[in-house]
């Protein structure tokens, strides 16, 4: 079993309908292939980050299809590692918007609602994929804080 993490840039700003459509199809397929994971989308930066977990062959096959998907570009593989257990075992593909408005869809993860304690991702034995997601979330939060600060100082 492997976990695979990538980031990408949306080809255009995604509407909630488009995201929902993407997720509905992805979850059906992931369920049939026993692939789990989490997808985050930032409306601010129009970036995706996704963790895929599952059988090595199936994950690589899905990833090849994802790389070819014209809905995003600059797909960059951050890592691909062998794992013995899943971090997202309950999620056929959890989803969260990074930005403020979290739609109330079934399956929208509470990932971002969890408190991000400093160093949390170092002290807890999570795998690379989950750590990357936490890092991504914190970086976005920092950017937002810095923007807010420069706004106040102006
Ligand atoms: C950001 C992003 C994430 C995606 N995640 C998944 C996924 O987890 N599982 C999946 O099957 N397809 C995912 N897709 C869709 C695939 O790129 C592709 O459209 C799909 O696998 C094609 O399936 P089909 O040939 O059965 O229609 C994603 C697409 C994008 C743009």
Domains and CATH numbers, the chain: 2-100+111-153 (3.30.70.100)
Q: What confidence score (pLDDT) does residue 16 get?
A: 87
Q: What percent of the chain has pLDDT over 90?
A: 39
Tell how far the Cα of 146 is from the centroid of ligand 1, in angstroms.
Answer: 34
Of 1-15, 32-46, 58-72, where does mean pLDDT reach its minimum? 32-46
In short, whether 29's Cβ falls inside 6 Å of ligand 1 is yes
Q: What confidence score (pLDDT) does residue 140 get?
A: 61
136: confidence class by pLDDT, cuts 50, 70, 90:
low
Q: What is the mean pLDDT of residues 82-97?
A: 80
In short, whether 69's Cβ falls inside 6 Å of ligand 1 is yes
What's the rounded Cα separation, in Å, for the pair 118 and 79?
23
Task: Indicate which residue's Cα is closest to atom 21 of ligand 1.
Answer: 65
Main-chain dihedrals φ then ψ at residue 28, nearest 5 degrees: -60, -50
The b/e string for 65-87 (b: 16+ C-beta within 10 A; e otherwise) is ebeeeeebeebeebebeebeebb
Tell how far the Cα of 117 is from the centroid of ligand 1, in angstroms.
Answer: 32
Of 7-16, 102-111, 134-143, where does mean pLDDT reach its minimum? 102-111
Task: Indicate which residue's Cα is closest to atom 6 of ligand 1.
Answer: 26
Task: Indicate which residue's Cα is closest to atom 8 of ligand 1.
Answer: 26
What's the rounded Cα separation, in Å, for the pair 112 and 57?
30
């Amino acid at each position: 079993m492997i976990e695979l993490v990538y980031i990408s840039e949306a080809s255009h700003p995604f509407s909630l309908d488009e995201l929902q459509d993407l997720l509905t199809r992805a979850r059906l397929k992931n369920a049939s292939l026993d692939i789990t994971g989490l997808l985050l989308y930032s409306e601010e930066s129009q970036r995706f980050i996704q963790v895929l977990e599952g059988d090595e062959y199936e994950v690589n096959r899905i990833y090849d299809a994802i790389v070819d998907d014209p809905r995003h570009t600059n797909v960059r593989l951050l890592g691909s590692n062998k794992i013995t257990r899943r971090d997202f075992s309950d999620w056929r593909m959890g989803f969260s918007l990074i930005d403020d408005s979290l739609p109330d869809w079934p399956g929208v993860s509470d990932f971002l609602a969890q408190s991000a304690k400093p160093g949390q991702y170092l002290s807890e034995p999570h795998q690379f994929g989950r750590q990357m997601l936490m890092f991504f979330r914190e970086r976005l939060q920092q950017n937002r804080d810095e923007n807010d600060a420069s706004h106040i100082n102006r």
